[in-house]
Structure 1
């Protein structure tokens, strides 16, 4: 009875020791796996953004919340032209640059999977079989004089495993950098989206402006042709000189000479817009004319600090900074010893039935530690390189913020001033139209020379073309402001 109790206590102690030993081994493996991560953890740099944008077009609203930015609106609300909306949608579906940006996201995601796999053990399995027929003369005979077997064969299944323990966080920092690259590529795709919407709208507005210029030129040609006919009649009646006729013909031919160049620009713009739509060059459908594009008088812009979250290029620059920051940890981990575990096992026999018998199995396990001793300064230089690159990405991030603030201020100035420009040009066109009317009346009455008609008509034509171009810039400046504020990608 006493012996039985002693045996039970001994078994209990042995089991306790084994349990503690297993727990210690698992704790050690977890510690080796998780370990620590050398290198700095990322913290967003402090940005001293101004309290408001320079040249804002909408007054502040003294309420609980800051005024919402006009960039928070969906891009479809920015345009009142249904045809333009359809063109932008087609571009988002078919544009090749946008598709390329989407593929880069998939590439970065796949690369993240490759990098992250380094944190896990690798396991491989296989099998082998070999056979050998040796010459009988080399094998010899048995003791009884019979020839020994000259055929040898054997094989079996095998498996191996290897694990580089991430004690210093080298692979986790690499995964952190790769994850930032994925996010950066996604923000890059969104930046391409914003740029694509802006490019399609600007190209469409240029096309509609050229259409307006073509219409103005065609109408001017018709009016000047009538003027030539009138001057010819006056010359035949002796009320006008040959010089007046030549001046009228000069005006007429000048307008006719402008028409082919405008048609060439229309063709070029249609081709460019076709490529943005992801199709071969061809005709582009039209919607509202350039004068029919509506623009709000006041544009709420929100607060400058919101650009950090809304501008895709700023977010992309920050993710590059995150990746560069993580690579400092990768370079730092190279200073420390690398720990790895390897093992292999299997079974081998020349008889299939005895492959898995106890005497046919084998296994092997080993652990290793590798400490860099001398690398010719490679590790130190790589560490310095990663820190310098992180500082470069920090400066690039800060520069992207300044450029964003500049883009918004430029957009605000452009939108405000182009509106004033088109208003003044519209007044000029009205005055020039009246001046031409009065000059023609005076010339018909013999109270002035044709030079006055020539001068006023030339000024009217130029003012009409400039008004159409100003309308284009006004429409484009609103889209540019919308993009500068970070709109278009949501």
Structure 2
């Protein structure tokens, strides 16, 4: 019978009248008014793709989009860049930091158990818990000890911890997508620089071919001077033209060296590695895309995915701020030993325990909770507005690349036609000069026109490769939002 009596106070501890409990909850809700975001994410949009770029089967872009160039050196350089570039290491560090924050938020939802021991020695007050002698030890110097095992659990009745977990997980996703955005930027920069290196080698070929043509003409000039048909004026003109081409060849060689140094830096190599970079052997990188680009494909850009994750995090943080208006209920428990006089600490009579809820109510805070919630709602508006602007910019970026690539074909056709005409004019002018029917000035003029048209063709080829890289970047470079997202404690439970 006596053993059952101590249980009565424990049960009564939880017998709070329903009306009182309601008043406590209402007190925690005082002043709360929901704030709806002022903006919503952009609606679905789509872009029409020129017929010559439309892909009949499958969907582009691919994850390893640079492999369409079929250049083994480029592929190897890309692997080194994506694994050794310092920017990628920094992005991985940010992911690790976000993962730790997510784990920390998840840890707050489980039971917390801690052990502690407190030992002290000092004078006891005669007017506090311990009475004066002879009934107690008030006024005496005594030792005290406590050894306990503490237990606490946040019941999270209003979902604040759950909201913080969602926010942390969304931030982790955002960090992963930002890493993917950094990968895409690095890959685009490397391929673009590699294509520029290839274009410089092509320009070097054009200059060397033109220099060989001018040397052939100079030999003809020397023969005509010996025959008395030309003067030293034509010889000096030919020498001047050859010298100007040699200057351009030196400038091109310098540009090649600089581009190799840039490639070595992008690949995470030391500058000495630039010497081992060979001439690119890139195949034409012809890309094709679906006939229309809806938002779900247009949105396959890692920076847009990161912004969507930040929107989800902002909503979750607003939910956590809203939950702060309600009572916070924790369950606490303690079991251990307490004694006045350390020698009594391990006695059976020193055993103690306690269990019960801890309730904290926000009654008056001078508007702090409302201001915090309003700030979180503003963060949602800012994140959505930034995302909407990014979607518009992405749509414009893709549209511009598609227009440029489509129109480039007509430019190339006109340039090839002009090149054929310049080559024929150069052939005829050389024949007439050999036959003494035309002066050297005519040959020189036509030769400059031919060199100019060759430059145009090389420039257009370089532009085409650059536009293909820009299109690959604009379409996300094969990014898939459901790949590469690390598992978290919260989504692992679902």
TM-score range, shorter chain: 0.7 to 0.9
1:81 partnered with 2:96: no
**Where does residue 361 of structure 2 map in the other structure?**
370
Partners of 2:11 and 2:146 in 1: CA distance: 36
- Root-mean-square deviation (Å): 3.9
Aligned 8 A contact 1:193 1:489 in 2 = no
Is contact 1:340–1:367 with CA below 8 Å preserved after alignment? yes
8 Å CA contact retained: 1:51, 1:303: yes
Answer yes or no: is the 8 Å Cα contact 2:177–2:305 preserved in 1: yes
Establish whether residue 439 from structure 1 lines up as the match of residue 429 from structure 2.
Answer: yes
Pick from 439, 451, 465: which aligns with 1:475? 465
The 5 Å alignment of 1:10-25 reads: none
Name the structure 2 match of 1:283: 275
Unaligned runs of 5+ in 1: 1-6, 62-66, 134-141, 144-149
Deviations along 1:394-424, one digit per CA (max 9) or x if unpaired, are: 1222222222222222222222233433343
Q: Which of 319, 331, 337 is the aligned partner of 1:329? A: 319
Does structure 1 residue 49 correspond to structure 2 residue 44? yes
Kept in 1, the 8 Å contact 2:147–2:338? The answer is yes
Contact conserved, 2:329 with 2:357, CA < 8 A, in 1?
no
1:266 aligns with 2:256: yes
Shift of 1:381: 2.4
Summarize the Cα distance change of 1:283–1:418 in structure 2 as closer, same or farther, 3 Å threshold. farther
Q: 1:215 to 1:132 in 2, by over 3 A?
A: same
Alignment map for 1:428-467 (pairs within 5 Å): 428-467=418-457
How big is each residue's C-alpha offset from its partner over 1:233-292, in whole Å with a ceiling of 9 and x where there is no partner? 433432113332232222112212212221222122111111111111222533654xx6
Number of aligned residue pairs: give it.
450
Deviations along 1:206-226, one digit per CA (max 9) or x if unpaired, are 001111112222332333234
- Paired position in structure 2 for 1:139: none
Structure 1 position 205 matched with structure 2 position 200: no
Equivalent in 378, 395, 412 of residue 402 of structure 2:
412
Cα distance in 2 for partners of 1:408, 1:284 equals: 36
- Does the 8 A contact of 2:164 with 2:317 survive in 1? yes
> Could you say if the C-alpha distance between residues 224 and 241 of structure 1 is closer, same or farther in structure 2, counting changes exceeding 3 Å?
same
Q: Residues 211 and 266 of structure 1 are in contact (CA less than 8 Å); yes or no, is this contact kept in structure 2?
A: yes
For residues 171 and 210 of structure 2, what CA distance do their matches in structure 1 show? 57
Matches within 5 A, 1:166-315: 166-281=156-271, 282-286=274-278, 288-289=280-281, 293-296=283-286, 299-300=289-290, 302-307=292-297, 310-315=300-305
Aligned residue runs from structure 1 range 153-164, under 5 A? 153=143, 155-164=145-154
Moved more, 52-61 or 420-429: 52-61
TM-score (normalizing by structure 2): 0.78
CA gap of 1:420–1:98, structure 2 versus 1, over 3 A, is farther
- The CA deviation at 1:166 is 2.2
8 Å contact from structure 2 (residues 398, 471) kept in 1: yes
Q: 2 CA distance for matches of 1:443 and 1:41?
A: 83
Contact 1:53 1:408 in 2 (8 A): no
| Structure 2 equivalent of residue 357 of structure 1 | 347
TM-score, scaled relative to structure 1: 0.79
> For 2:48, what is the secondary structure of its paired residue?
coil
Q: Structure 2 stretches of 5 or more lacking a match?
A: 124-132, 135-139, 481-494
Tell me if the contact between 1:57 and 1:299 (Cα under 8 Å) persists in the aligned partners: no
- CA-CA distance at 1:47 after TM superposition: 4.4
Q: 2:143, 2:342 within 8 Å by CA — same for their partners in 1?
A: no
